[in-house]
Copies of this chain bind each other. A is one copy, B any other.
Amino acid sequence: STLRTFLWHTFIHASMNSSMFSERSALASWDPFLAFVDHWEEKTKSFRSDGDLCFGQPQEKPLAALTETMGRVIGAPQDSDTFAYRVKIAEVQEAIVRNLQQSRGLTVDAEDVFTTNGALSALTLTMTILANPGEAAVLVSPIYFVYRQQLELMGIEPVVVPTTQDFDLDVAAIRRAITDSTRFILINSPNNPSGKIYSMETLQKLTDMLNEVNEGRPDRPIFVISDEAYNRIVFDGIDFHSITEIYPYTIMIYTWAKTLLCPGERFGYIALPHIMPREVRTRLRDIITRCQIAGWSKPNNTTALTYMHAERDGMRTDLTVLQRRRDKLHLCLTAQGWTVFKPSGTFYMLVEVDKTMFLSAEDFVDALAAERVLVMPGFIMEIKDHVRMSLTANDAMVDFAIKAFAKLRKKEAPAA
């Protein structure tokens, strides 16, 4: 496969470490995601607009409400504080706290909310606070594609535990992966790429298991980092809940990039639930604030104020549009004979590789690309035999893709 050859080549290139830079940067710099992007850049310039279901990028104009709010914040009366350095802006934290309480019944103190320059740098900051170099973190595969790089940059060892066949947490397998050097578990629900939302029943099992493990190490409880980037991109009117509500050592990470379909604007937060012991929160407040003063993941004032209004207004991308695309893709591709996992949330859907037709996900990706449709091969997310499609494609792209999938069926189906 063209894709496989290309990736192997870039891997060899990146592995030629230079002693000129730190080992951690070399470790983190073979990024299969970026290698894949490089591949597409070259290959797909000419047909980007036909069937791009690859990335979670907006394919339509931005939310008018978002740009209007930005304009309003910039246009508001200004004083010497407008662009002054501010450690925190209390009214922004309060808007976030109110939203968590009202939408999910989740109690968080305003002082335990830290607004950040997006979710990813908030994640790296949190990882760095929780684990020493050489210690370990448990990830659950399929994994979001930059987690591994983030951990490696910070010298933390990623231990990857696969989910069950239907993408649920395998609590027993997670238990087996925990060692004395494990400092935290990183979970992502709603999950990118599977779209799975872990049930509270499963999360209670995880909580019970962790509470039991913690009894044997009272000074070093295992933390959970709950990446909730997609917690407002949920379908079928589901009430979203997460482990943040039940496990006291959870650190929640959020970004508006998905809710408002604006990944090029960076704003998110770290939140510590009220059920976390007070002395732990006090210490974390101190550490996170000091890391932010040292420049880590500090958002613009104007960005913070913009999203405060978004929060108060309950601003959100139109979920009915995403749900309609999900339903159409699921219905049509299933009817064509593909095995598709129907997501409960997120922008994504996983399609299984039909092994009677293709040797690997890379071959499947190449075959779709030949029909001018872009999807992401599973290896980037450390899952075999699947490709990921994004629902942020516009309706025309979705229709184009459905036809392309149908063509593959006709063209490549083995003779009966």
In whole angstroms, what is the CA distance A295 to B84 when docked? 25
A176 interfacial by beta-carbon distance below 8 Å: no
Q: Which of A137-168 contact B (CB under 8 A)?
A: 146, 149-150, 153, 155
- B31 A300 Cβ-Cβ under 8 A: no
- B121 A293 Cβ-Cβ under 8 A: no
A99 interfacial by beta-carbon distance below 8 Å: no
| Contact bitstring A90-126, B, C-beta under 8 A = 1, else 0 | 0000000000000000000000000001111101100
Output the least CB separation between A336 and chain B (Å): 28
In whole angstroms, what is the CA distance A301 to B262 when docked? 10
| Contact bitstring A64-93, B, C-beta under 8 A = 1, else 0 | 001100110011001111111111000000
The stretch of A194-202, A263-271, A354-362 that contacts the partner chain: A263-271
Q: Which residues on B sit within 8 Å (CB–CB) of A66?
A: 83
- Given the known A-B contacts A28-B291, A55-B85, A264-B86, are A298 and B117 also in contact in the complex, defined by CB atoms under 8 Å? yes
- Given the known A-B contacts A266-B298, A287-B29, A294-B31, are A117 and B120 also in contact in the complex, defined by CB atoms under 8 Å? no
| Contact bitstring A165-208, B, C-beta under 8 A = 1, else 0 | 00000000000000000010000000000000000000000000
Copies of this chain, how many?
2
Q: Which residues on B sit within 8 Å (CB–CB) of A130?
A: 21-22
Interface centre among A57, A220, A263, A265 (most CB of B within 10 A): A265
- A20 B264 Cβ-Cβ under 8 A: no
| Contact bitstring A332-356, B, C-beta under 8 A = 1, else 0 | 0000000000000000000000000
- B128 A18 Cβ-Cβ under 8 A: no
Q: Which of A45-74 contact B (CB under 8 A)?
A: 55, 57-62, 66-67, 70-71, 74
A280 interfacial by beta-carbon distance below 8 Å: yes
- B118 A298 Cβ-Cβ under 8 A: yes
- A57 B84 Cβ-Cβ under 8 A: yes
A23 interfacial by beta-carbon distance below 8 Å: yes
**A17's closest neighbor in chain B, by CB?**
B283
A289 interfacial by beta-carbon distance below 8 Å: yes
In whole angstroms, what is the CA distance A55 to B293 when docked? 13
Q: Which residues on B sit within 8 Å (CB–CB) of A252?
A: none
Interface centre among A25, A85, A299, A301 (most CB of B within 10 A): A25
In whole angstroms, what is the CA distance A413 to B117 when docked? 50
Q: Which residues of A contact B (CB under 8 A)?
A: 14, 18-26, 28-29, 31, 33-34, 37, 55, 57-62, 66-67, 70-71, 74-75, 78-87, 117-121, 123-124, 128-133, 135, 146, 149-150, 153, 155, 183, 219-221, 260-267, 280, 283-284, 286-287, 289-291, 293-303
17 extra A-B contacts, CB within 8 A, seeds A14-B286, A149-B293, A266-B299: A19-B220, A20-B283, A21-B130, A21-B287, A22-B183, A25-B128, A28-B291, A28-B294, A66-B83, A67-B75, A83-B262, A84-B264, A117-B298, A121-B296, A128-B153, A265-B302, A300-B300
A-B pairs with the 8 shortest C-beta distances? A120-B295, A83-B262, A264-B301, A85-B263, A149-B294, A25-B129, A146-B294, A70-B74
